[in-house]
Amino acid sequence: MEKKSEGTPAIVLLVLMQGVLASGAVEVQPSMNPAVTGDTVTFSLCPTMSLNSGSWAVGDTDILTWRGTNQAVFSSHRGRASVNVLTGALTLSSVTMADSGVYAVQSSDLQLKANTSFTVLEPISNVTIRANQTKLMEFNSSAVLACSVSFGSSPSFLWLNDSSEVTASERVRLTDGNSTLTIVNVTRYDQGSFRCCVFNPVSNGTSDSVNFTISYGPDNMVLTVNGQNTTSFLIGSNLTMFCSTQSNPPAQLQWAFRGELLNTTGPLLELYSVSEDQSGSYSCLAFNNQTNMDSNITTHILIGSEFNSTVILTHIFIIHLFLNSPFLWFVSRVPVIRM
């Protein structure tokens, strides 16, 4: 009797030590985590072992119990849950987002307790963009794009302009978890194809594109004569003046000579076999009927017989100073140009 009483504490201590070791060394590993709604997931024990009995639960809800070859599934998971009576692995079919939680297994065989956190996500579908307006005025309009999904859990949002990612800046704001994009005081450089990309750990989706029409200009006008920078030409020359401007929609162009409108519209003004009396200022006038803005550019053309254009321009400049100065100017030996 004394020998028996001395051995009992040792046996109890051995069982407790085995239980502690088993609990710390065993892990629950889902076959996928996170899983997609509708998937079938198996929760296995690692390392694999033989369990004659045990139970599974998620949170405070019991799933099933088993002993030997017999198993009993509780009503909450009936028809969807089963256990491998040899290894204790739990299989759960047709999972939903409500199946997310902490799954725990217990077994009296080895005083085993182990658990793992498991997540079920709904895939992203039907990504759409809603715009407050698509016809905008440069510097006077703000664009607001809102992205949404019909289905999809834990969505993350990313915006693209053509193939470039849109990031926050002084004029660009990303709010509501990046689902809303606001561009304040749009410029012509904000044009492009905007798309919204939505993703979560199990899926992704992209919206159709939205394009802005941004009205701007006219500005940055350029006027060339015969494709050159010179403004002095011989009598009898043919002149082609070309006017360009940055404008959307394209600006209406009108030509003027010495401040008087000509019966010529469009980017080209063509003069054939010019004469001396066609010298003077030529202006290109631009008007945008969407922005209600106008702009103009003027060039001064000098037409004469064969001459040194540098001498003529110097002569005109000195005479101009003489006529417009409050001081007395003395001009000596200014070349007289015969036209």
Instruction: Please provide the distance, in angstroms rounded to a whole number, between the alpha carbons at the two ends of the chain.
Output: 144
pLDDT bin (cut points 50, 70, 90) of residue 337 is: very low
Where is average pLDDT lowest: 24-33, 155-164, 278-287? 24-33
Q: Quick check: helix, strand or coil at residue 91?
A: strand
pLDDT at 309: 43
Preceding peptide of 9 cis, ω within 30°: no
Q: Which residues of 153-170 are buried (b: 16+ CB within 10 A; e: fewer)?
A: bebebbbbbeeeebeeee
The pTM of this model reads 0.72
Query: Cα 101–107–113 angle (5° rounding)?
Result: 50
d(CA 328, CA 310): 25
pLDDT at 319: 32
d(CA 155, CA 146): 14
Summarised one tens digit per residue, pLDDT across range 137-149 is 999 999 999 999 9
The average pLDDT across 43-48 equals 94
Q: Does position 9 have pLDDT exceeding 90, yes or no?
A: no
The candidate with the shortest Cα–Cα distance to 291, out of 214, 190, 204, is 214
Q: Does position 101 have pLDDT exceeding 50, yes or no?
A: yes
pLDDT at 338: 33
pLDDT at 204: 96
Q: Which residues of 100-120 are buried (b: 16+ CB within 10 A; e: fewer)?
A: bbebbbbbeebbbebbeebbb
pLDDT at 197: 98
Q: Does position 323 have pLDDT exceeding 80, yes or no?
A: no
Summarised one tens digit per residue, pLDDT across range 173-213 is 999 999 999 999 999 999 989 999 999 999 999 999 999 99
CB 174 within 8 A of CB 216: no
Region of residue 178 (phi > 0: left; psi between -120 and 50: alpha; otherwise: beta):
left
pLDDT at 194: 97
pLDDT at 313: 42
Q: Does position 278 have pLDDT exceeding 60, yes or no?
A: yes
pLDDT at 27: 95
Where is average pLDDT lowest: 9-23, 172-186, 306-320? 9-23
d(CA 194, CA 178): 14
CB 183 within 8 A of CB 143: yes
According to DSSP, the β-strands at 135-137 and 213-225 are parallel
Where is average pLDDT lowest: 37-51, 245-259, 316-330? 316-330
pLDDT at 15: 34
pLDDT at 20: 39
pLDDT at 307: 53
Q: Does position 17 have pLDDT exceeding 50, yes or no?
A: no
pLDDT bin (cut points 50, 70, 90) of residue 308 is: low
Where is average pLDDT lowest: 6-15, 151-160, 214-223? 6-15
Summarised one tens digit per residue, pLDDT across range 202-243 is 999 999 999 999 999 999 999 999 998 789 999 999 999 999
